[in-house]
Amino acid sequence: MEFHTKTKGAGSSSPDLSMALLPGPTLDPTWRLVEEGFTLSREHEIESIFTVSNGYAGVRGSLPEGSALSAPATFLAGVFDANPESGFPHELVILPDWTMGRLLIDSVPLMLQEGRVLEHRRILDLKQGVFWREWRHRDPAGHTFSYRLLRFASLADRHLLLQSILLTTENYTGRVCLESHIKAPAPYPRDSTLEVVAPAVWIGPYWTLQALPDQNKQRLVRGITSQGTTIAVALAHEVITRAGTHLESELEPVADGFIERWRWEQGLGETVRLTRVAVVCTSREAKNPEKAAMQHVEHIFREGFTRMADAHVEAWRDRWETADITVAGDEQAQRTLRFAIYHLVGAGNPNDERASIGARGLTGKAYRGHVFWDTEIYLLPFYAFTHPPTARALLMYRYHTLPAAAKKARGLNYDGALYAWESTDTGEETTPLSALGPTGQMTNILTGVQEHHISADIAYAVWQYWRITDDDEFFLRAGAEIVLRTARFWASRSKLEADGRYHIRGIIGPDEYHETVDDNAYTNVMAQWNLQRGVETIDLLRTRWPEPWRSLSERLELTEEEPDHWRRAAEKMAIGFDPRTRLFEQFAGYFDLAEIDLSQYAGGTIPIDLALGRERTQASKVLKQADVVAFCVLFRDQFPRDILEANFRYYEPRTAHGSSLSPAFHALMAARLGDLPLAEQYFRQAADIDLSNTMGNAAGGVHIAALGGLWQAAVFGFAGLQIREDGLLFEPNLPRSWSALSFTVQWRSRTLAVMINRDPRRIQLTHCAGDRLTVGVVNGPTRVLQQGLKYIAEWERHAERWSVSPG
Amino acid sequence: MIRSQGQSQSSPISEAGRTRTILIPLDGSLRATAAWPVATALAKLVEATSHIIHVTTEPLTPEGLLHRIKLSPEQISGSIVEQLQGRPAEVIVRQAKDRSSLFIVMCTSAETEPPCEGLGNVVCEVLQTASCPVVLVDPARHRGPWKLQRLLFPCDGSPTSKTAVGAAADMAHRARAELVVLHVAAIQAKEPGSLAAPRYVDQPQHEWPVWVTEFLARIRALGHPPEDVPIRLVVGAGDIGQTIIETGSRLESDLIVLACRGLLDPTRAEIVRTVLSRAPCPILISHIEGGS
């Protein structure tokens, strides 16, 4: 590792970049999000959007020196703790803020809101996975300095979090101090109150905040969760000045932790590099996490920060190679998709089977890290097609939480496995039973008791993953058991009634505006599918893997009668389909409900159930999200087009999109139906969920499922990817503003590069790696491709058909 | 102290160092005196001197002036009383500016003038031109004492409106009153950094508490209300003006604080007029700048 300092002349306007760990932010505007200036009220949104994460930890894009609205947080995936103060039993662990660092020039703290901001921008560098901050400032006393920060959560070494600042004193020579206050993290907001209580000093129940001095200048912060997980954060700092590199720090114990200070003399125009690393280890992956963390820090110092930074950038480069989507002709859509992919990559960890992805990923406190059905339905396809090990890890989390799912089913007098609506590390149900609503009334929360489709959703994801990856080892080890135990649940949940049909009563579908309904179409169709796959799984195991089958069937005590029961239940499931109208009824009695003209509320941004009131909403056809459209999306390749069309046209005008999941799936379906203006409109709406600067939606974290939905809208919607047993088909329909779309997918250990042109309509499929596979266009010619060969199809406008180019 | 026009300007009350005044224009009608209990309570609250002005073309003796404004010497003890000449609205606004008045406190309309959608013409002009906040009192209000125990502050979620909460919070702090912030989920403010009611409520048990926390955090960061002021957030939906009135009644608010951009401009006029015409309590209207 090289340590060096350079002195620049007075009046320099930027730090000496030769000292930087990385050359600089990516310049291509489609690879970066930039927040110029500073809008205090947006701070929480910006922090969420500018989070750096690696699936193990996520660090919000907070300012090191803080502001009146700073909410710094570093989240640790998969580690939860009980908080007796909260209405929620388990919350994702937040680490003490290792990014905090206040600079004092001549004893005056540098604050963005004091003095004159000469230049300030934050850049989320999507390509390199780096948060940058460029700041030039004149404090009230006239000290002028420039500052460049980079921060990353290493994708190459997921335990490593790093922040490095280059500070140049442009017109000052004298004392500079860096002050870091390590204290217990800010708590999650108290739940269910519309009143602000006097701010209390929160004493973390589990953090041990002594700084343990170490000969290598490390500090160790240790925490123990109520469930006994030890978390160790080893902190180390390096201040490179002209005078030397190993500055002694002063340590001041304070009531809520400790303050560490580094002081040095900085010359006129001199640049100093301040680097802090935090290495996080837990007892989940290390027997002695404290020792492991500290040794890891030593390793990092031996290797050098530059090498760590390079490895991180290299890991992102590798990840983008399989994950990137390029859009020609629409810079905003391009940036939106890369923003989505960036956060999706940062949310998943292929190495951790005990963690899944919460509703806000690792970017914010909202939802407290709780995991919902979103992960399997909205996120998993991205991972399965771009990074199967991450998809597998997510499904293994569900496998490991099967005991809790079985317990929940038993608790409600059902068989099999009923997954928690809100899941944390154990998989036990963590949905509260009531909560205060916006107008101050206490409302019963029924989702934890009545929203059961999640079990089928997880089975669906298992099956999709298996189809996409051919990962038999996973299927035999975990996937089959999930499918069987969830099928068993549906067999007990559905009841044969006098009409000869199986019914599921007292249920909530994804459209949570309507509670305690009978035969929710989404639930019943998914249950039917789950039962069918249960039967298919048994047949497959029996014939292809008799030994594993014997073992599994014994362990699950599967009876001979069960497959027949499942088959009957699936065949006779009430799914509310009317062959005359081609419509599915969202739930029994839905068609009799009152119509509400949603166009009266067009342009409104408030949840419709708030505008109409809960009772009126429940008595109407207004939908939070269209359950029928949702399963039409999932089974888009099985339903005839006229069914997709009829149901989309019926439900779309009745959907208020009170769920952030809804717009992206509507974009996908509109694209599949060729309604490109509508598809574009919904795509933009989905993009605005996090990126609009006037809604504040992202303050509690990015909507990771909506981002997964955007990826699906592009790949399954606009590119029209369809999975076949022997390969992949496409039905491209690009929006008018997109001239081309290209991306790569993984399919059963093969890599296929897809390039689609809008006008002339053309598709090129390149088999980049792996065994041969069948590719083609829907309703057009298919070909079996060997590695290295291309499939090129062009649309003959006059003949209205695809023709394949030779070769 | 009663001072008629032309008298010495050397009253100790008006000297430098006693700049906190509240201006109370009284037109001589009985209706106008409805503002008096509110004005005196506010003056006490903000430690200001009550400054009564009566605009007239007719020179009055001190006794005549007292008789005209229909207040007893005991009632106005400790107050400044002046008679002035000119166009009433112009005089009121100029006096408020010259004396750096904290508020102008007056009735919504006088008996002698034709109503202008619930407001007197003088009031309309004062609202449009005054550089300080104006407190309007319904002339039908009883003449009993007024006490500030609960303020209602409608806020559209924009940074500008949140910044305006500071003055209301300061009053709440002085009165040890509760500050209720009302957000009517209706119009999406276009100002960057606005926080409207959440467009997406995926799981209400999570979304609403998070949103409330965020809304109040922004209010505290932007408006800098005193730490000890309890702030309660109430969310409503529907017609904004009507919801403000209903919430003010339901919560038995003592004062509604309307922070308005471009007061009485076409886009905001309807809301303000609705509230002014049927408010269950006095209304404090202040101009705010910026935003959308």
The pLDDT score that the predictor gives to residue B19 is: 64
- How far is the C-alpha of B285 from the C-alpha of B262, rounded, in Å? 12
String of DSSP letters for chain B = -EE-TTS-S--GGGSTT---EEEEE--SSTGGGGHHHHHHHHHHHTT-EEEEEEE-SS---HHHHHHHHT--TTTTTT-EEEEE-S-HHHHHHHHHHHTT-SEEEEES--TTS--BTTB-HHHHHHHHH-SS-EEEE-TTS-SS-----EEEEE--S-HHHHHTHHHHHHHHHHHT-EEEEEEEE-----STT---S-S--SSHHHHHHHHHHHHHHHHHHHH---TTS-EEEEEEES-HHHHHHHHHHHTT-SEEEEEESSTT-HHHHHHHHHHHHH-SS-EEEEE--S--
Q: How many residues does chain B have?
A: 292
CA distances (Å), origin A586, targets A460, A498, A523, A532: 20, 22, 10, 21
- Has residue B116 got a pLDDT over 60? no
Q: What angle do CA A523, A464, A129 make, to 5 degrees?
A: 110
pLDDT in tens, A615-644: 899 999 999 999 999 999 999 988 999 999
How close A359 gets to chain B, by Cα (Å)? 10
Contact A605 B203 (CB under 8 A): no
Q: Is the peptide bond before A760 cis (omega within 30 degrees of 0)?
A: yes
Contact A699 B210 (CB under 8 A): yes
- Has residue A198 got a pLDDT over 60? no
Contact A694 B199 (CB under 8 A): no
Q: Residue B70's Cα: distance from chain center in Å?
A: 23
Do residues A50 and A73 touch, judged by C-beta distance below 8 A?
Answer: no
Q: What is the CB-side half-sphere exposure of residue B112 using CA atoms within 13 A?
A: 8
Q: What is the pTM of this model?
A: 0.92
The pLDDT score that the predictor gives to residue A430 is: 92
- Has residue B88 got a pLDDT over 50? yes
Query: Which of the residue ranges A174-178, A377-381, A402-406, A704-708 would you say has the lowest mean pLDDT?
Result: A174-178
Q: How far apart are the first and last CA of chain A?
A: 52
How confident is residue A477, by pLDDT bands cut at 50, 70 and 90?
A: very high
Interface test with A, best of B202, B211, B216, B233 (most A CBs within 10 A): B202
- How far is the C-alpha of A338 from the C-alpha of A333, rounded, in Å? 9
Which of A604, A658, A700 is the closest to B201 by Cβ? A658
How close A428 gets to chain B, by Cα (Å)? 17
Contact A610 B197 (CB under 8 A): yes
The catalytic site residues of A sit at 512
How close B187 gets to chain A, by Cα (Å)? 7
Quote the tokens at residue A203: 């004493």
Higher-pLDDT residue of A599 and A140 is A140
- How far is the C-alpha of A611 from the C-alpha of A620, rounded, in Å? 13
- Has residue A348 got a pLDDT over 70? yes
Quote the tokens at residue A212: 């343990």
Q: Is A803 helix (H, G, I), strand (E, B) or coil?
A: strand
Q: Is A171 helix (H, G, I), strand (E, B) or coil?
A: coil
- Has residue B208 got a pLDDT over 60? yes
CA distances (Å), origin B40, targets A251, B34, B94, B103, B142: 56, 11, 21, 12, 15
- How far is the C-alpha of B68 from the C-alpha of B86, rounded, in Å? 17
* Segment A316-344 mean pLDDT: 98
- How far is the C-alpha of A607 from the C-alpha of A446, rounded, in Å? 19
Do residues A705 and A358 touch, judged by C-beta distance below 8 A?
Answer: no
Do residues A219 and A294 touch, judged by C-beta distance below 8 A?
Answer: no
User: For A46, which residue in chain B has the nearest alpha carbon?
Assistant: B193
- How far is the C-alpha of A209 from the C-alpha of A95, rounded, in Å? 11
pLDDT in tens, B150-160: 999 998 888 88
String of DSSP letters for A614-644 = HHHHHTBS-BSS-HHHHHHHHTTTTS-HHHH
pLDDT in tens, A239-249: 887 666 667 78
How confident is residue B268, by pLDDT bands cut at 50, 70 and 90?
A: low
Q: What angle do CA B234, B237, B238 make, to 5 degrees?
A: 145
How confident is residue A194, by pLDDT bands cut at 50, 70 and 90?
A: very low
How confident is residue A365, by pLDDT bands cut at 50, 70 and 90?
A: very high
Pairing of strands A727-730, A740-747: unpaired
pLDDT in tens, B216-225: 889 888 888 8
The pLDDT score that the predictor gives to residue A605 is: 65
Pairing of strands B134-137, B283-287: antiparallel
User: For A606, which residue in chain B has the nearest alpha carbon?
Assistant: B199
How confident is residue A550, by pLDDT bands cut at 50, 70 and 90?
A: very high
Shortest CA distance to A278 belongs to which of A81, A71, A96?
A: A96
- Has residue B69 got a pLDDT over 50? yes
Q: Which residues of A touch B191 (CB under 8 A)?
A: 694
How close A375 gets to chain B, by Cα (Å)? 14
Q: Which residues of A touch B194 (CB under 8 A)?
A: 41, 694-696
Most confident stretch, A119-123, A254-258, A297-301, B97-101: A119-123
Q: How many CB atoms lie within 10 A of CB B249?
A: 14
- How much of chain A exceeds pLDDT 70, in percent? 92
CA distances (Å), origin A767, targets A478, A599, A734, A794: 30, 47, 22, 18
How confident is residue A614, by pLDDT bands cut at 50, 70 and 90?
A: confident
Q: Is A601 helix (H, G, I), strand (E, B) or coil?
A: helix
Q: Angle, to 10 degrees, between the axis of helix A676-691 and the axis of helix A704-712?
A: 150
* Segment A647-676 mean pLDDT: 97
- How far is the C-alpha of A744 from the C-alpha of A751, rounded, in Å? 7
Quote the tokens at residue A579: 């062959």
How confident is residue A254, by pLDDT bands cut at 50, 70 and 90?
A: confident
Q: Residue A88's Cα: distance from chain center in Å?
A: 21
- Has residue A9 got a pLDDT over 50? no
Q: Where are the beta strands (DSSP E) in A43-187?
A: 52-53, 57-59, 74-82, 90-95, 102-105, 108-109, 116-125, 130-138, 144-153, 160-169, 174-183
- Has residue A775 got a pLDDT over 80? yes
- How far is the C-alpha of B140 from the C-alpha of A358, rounded, in Å? 57
Shortest CA distance to B146 belongs to which of B283, B274, B277?
A: B283
Q: How many CB atoms lie within 10 A of CB A363?
A: 30
* Segment A541-562 mean pLDDT: 97
H-state helical runs in A375-444: 380-386, 388-400, 402-411
The pLDDT score that the predictor gives to residue A544 is: 97
Pairing of strands A801-804, B49-55: unpaired
Higher-pLDDT residue of A210 and A711 is A711
Q: Which residues of B touch A432 (CB under 8 A)?
A: 205
- How far is the C-alpha of A609 from the C-alpha of B198, rounded, in Å? 12
Which of B189, B192, B204 is the closest to A42 by Cβ? B192
- Has residue A309 got a pLDDT over 80? yes
- Has residue B163 got a pLDDT over 90? no
Q: What is the CB-side half-sphere exposure of residue B11 using CA atoms within 13 A?
A: 20
Mean pLDDT estimate for chain B: 84
Higher-pLDDT residue of A202 and B126 is B126
Q: How many CB pairs under 8 A join A and B?
A: 162
- How much of chain A exceeds pLDDT 90, in percent? 79
Mean pLDDT estimate for chain A: 91
Contact B237 A606 (CB under 8 A): yes
Do residues A151 and A263 touch, judged by C-beta distance below 8 A?
Answer: no
Contact A370 B207 (CB under 8 A): no
Residue type, A432: P
Q: What angle do CA A67, A69, A73 make, to 5 degrees?
A: 90
